[in-house]
Structure 1
Amino acid sequence: MNLLDIRNLSIELIGKHENTLAVDRVSLSMKEGEVRGLVGESGSGKSLLAQAIVGVLDDERWKVSADRFHWQGKELLHLPIEERKAIITKDVAMIFQEPMSCLDPTTPIGEQLEEAIGTEGLSGYFWQRRKQRKEEAIKLLHKVGIKQHTICNKSYPHQLTEAVCQRVMIAMALARQPKLLIADEPTASMESTNQGQIFRLLASLNQLKNMSILLISHDLENITHWTNTITVMYSGQFVEAGTTDQIFNKPLHPYTQALLDSSLNANSNLPAKSRLMALPGSIPILQHLPIGCRLGPRCPRAQQACVKAPKVKSYHGHQVSCHFSLKDTY
């Protein structure tokens, strides 16, 4: 049984006259202990999909619907909001992309981290539990690589670097020992050395705690070293999904191939100051989305049939949503 099983999830931005379809019938599944990458350009709907999973989208601005939204076999969309939030808060944690905007600027880091620690594992009177929370908070900071815990605990978010705040966010996410950790660009503000440390930390959590991880990134090449499976999105639509080896070595969708062609390794032999390989144009804005396949205006293989949304095809577990995939080229 899948830990998370979503079928045909759609997210609409509610407008005065009509709604805008930001995420269009995307499916996603996660098994226990799986590390799945979710890849796409900025604006492809990756973060929106993650926020829909953890239930933090504003109901007055966004409408979420799905044919299936199962967590451990339980349909979440049919549950009352409070019951749904109780399940998600207990079992799912998310590391947001901008830590400075997620941390409370009026409260010291130590207090915020202690508040995130659940009551499970705490015992004794309230003053004993308070001491246990402090000790657990220090352990969490050490676990994410913050050695000067005294300084960090007394500091406010604006007194720390963005990289340290990101580590604090990871510590808060780990405080309740979630079954699924959603990491939205967890190393975006870090140097390459620190990025490796964070990825190794997430890998160890996966191996030692059997924690499932949904790793969101715009860099396909970077996350191939850490994931088992990868899902690719473009402009709110599902593009391709498969094992990391399938996606990296035999991509079936032109967009996935373009992501690989634009990587630094693929362009390592280019002369100095040469342009990297890239698709023409840019990702469409929500107000002017193309009909059918949203990659159509930029796709080198586009034909008349692309004005209709393609159906998902599966080749031995390797799924692709394209009328003219690259399957015949292999």
Structure 2
Amino acid sequence: MQLLDIRNLTIELDTPHGRYLALERFSLKLSEGEIHGLVGESGSGKSLLAKAILGITDRRTHVQADRLSWNGHNMLTMSPAQRRELMANEIAMIFQEPASCLDPGARIGAQLLEAMPRFDAEPWWQRKQKRQALAIKLLHKVGLKEHKPLLRAFPWELSEGEAHKVMLAMALSHKPKLIIADEPTTGLESSDQAKIFRLLDKMNKLGNVAILFISHDLESVAQWSHQVTVLYCGHLMESGRSKRISTQPMHPYTQALLQSALTMQSSLPSKSDLPALRGAVPPLQHLPVGCRLGPRCPYARRECVKPPTIRSQSGHAYRCHFPLTDKDTTS
């Protein structure tokens, strides 16, 4: 069953220098129980896309789309109250910096109870007790066994890993159909990252929860996702099955993301530099003409000054004038 359907979504931002495109004609379909990875460097438009789905953009953000629907309902015509109801019951998000999303003046227990379901069907004298029991159960589920001191603590007393897990517990409280995880493992130790990955994978397999996983680490995301989409400067660069993306990339940017992973460099000589694209992600007001990757691409040619179109081959989409061959990807 298809849950999320995005077609030709465009996001523009108002800046002191004018209005600029941050995401251009992006399309995505997400089915029930699917894990979809969204990968790219900072500034690619990943977090903006997540906020546009939830409807939590600010006044300087302008969203247009041919289609933005949830479970067959048009999200563009929903009122703010309907969007809030949707976020409260069916879509949850784990934000990139969870500590900054918690109220520093309220204890964790109070904030966690506020995010719990209301249990309106239960007698009023049992509701608080049931919500407290659910809060403790969720904290244990995300790996926080010592719940008593944590419930009394303030957000600034938590470690980064604990704040991540608290936000994850809040996201799980309403048993959502979709979880948008925006860099949920950033700043965590390897063991904590593995626990978060395993927990999300368990929710997907046992609860059939769809997950939109946003990250800059293509290799890790490909291991856990069914589909992967690679973004750069607001453009879709490549999209397809995660196994094919990680083994046979068609776009030079995807290849660069894979080669920059530490685990891919087992034979790298000591003290040598990691493979990386030259330059940096350009600002919105200075986007290159033609292919967005052109100035940084090691395979750029004269034809790359023209904007490439998205081509599809056996369900594998890519935006490149000169896609990589099997020989290019293995060299």
> TM-score normalised to the size of structure 2?
0.95
Equivalent positions of 1:240-319 (< 5 A) are 240-319=238-317
Paired residue total: 328
In the alignment, the residues of structure 2 paired with residue 194 and residue 121 of structure 1 have an alpha-carbon distance, to the nearest angstrom, of 35
Equivalent positions of 1:148-163 (< 5 A) are 148-163=146-161
SS at match of 1:117: coil
Encode CA deviations 1:108-153: one digit per residue, 9 max, x unaligned: 101111111122575111x310111111100010000000110110
**Any unmatched runs of 5+ in structure 1?**
none
Range with bigger deviation, 196-205 or 111-120: 111-120
Report the Cα offset of residue 51 of structure 1.
1.2
Percent identity over the alignment?
A: 53
Q: Is the 8 A contact 2:119 2:127 kept in 1?
A: no
In the alignment, the residues of structure 2 paired with residue 193 and residue 108 of structure 1 have an alpha-carbon distance, to the nearest angstrom, of 27
Q: Is the 8 A contact 2:54 2:83 kept in 1?
A: no
SS at match of 1:225: helix
| Counterpart AA for 2:79 | P
| Counterpart AA for 1:244 | S
SS at match of 2:311: strand
In the alignment, the residues of structure 2 paired with residue 121 and residue 191 of structure 1 have an alpha-carbon distance, to the nearest angstrom, of 39
The aligned counterpart of 2:104 is 105
Report the Cα offset of residue 240 of structure 1.
0.6
Range with bigger deviation, 113-122 or 41-50: 113-122
Q: Is the 8 A contact 1:248 1:260 kept in 2?
A: yes
The answer to whether 1:56 aligns with 2:66 is no
Q: Is the 8 A contact 1:11 1:63 kept in 2?
A: yes
In the alignment, the residues of structure 1 paired with residue 230 and residue 274 of structure 2 have an alpha-carbon distance, to the nearest angstrom, of 21
| Counterpart AA for 2:43 | G
Report the Cα offset of residue 301 of structure 1.
2.1
Report the Cα offset of residue 289 of structure 1.
1.2
Equivalent positions of 1:105-124 (< 5 A) are 105-120=104-119, 123-124=122-123
**Any unmatched runs of 5+ in structure 2?**
none
Report the Cα offset of residue 61 of structure 1.
1.1
| Counterpart AA for 1:43 | G
The aligned counterpart of 2:174 is 176
CA gap 1:323/1:77 in 2 versus in 1, 3 angstroms: same
RMSD (Å) for aligned C-alpha atoms: 1.6
SS at match of 1:19: strand
CA gap 1:193/1:122 in 2 versus in 1, 3 angstroms: farther
In the alignment, the residues of structure 2 paired with residue 121 and residue 276 of structure 1 have an alpha-carbon distance, to the nearest angstrom, of 56
Report the Cα offset of residue 274 of structure 1.
0.2
| Counterpart AA for 1:97 | Q
SS at match of 1:309: coil
Report the Cα offset of residue 81 of structure 1.
3.2
> TM-score normalised to the size of structure 1?
0.95
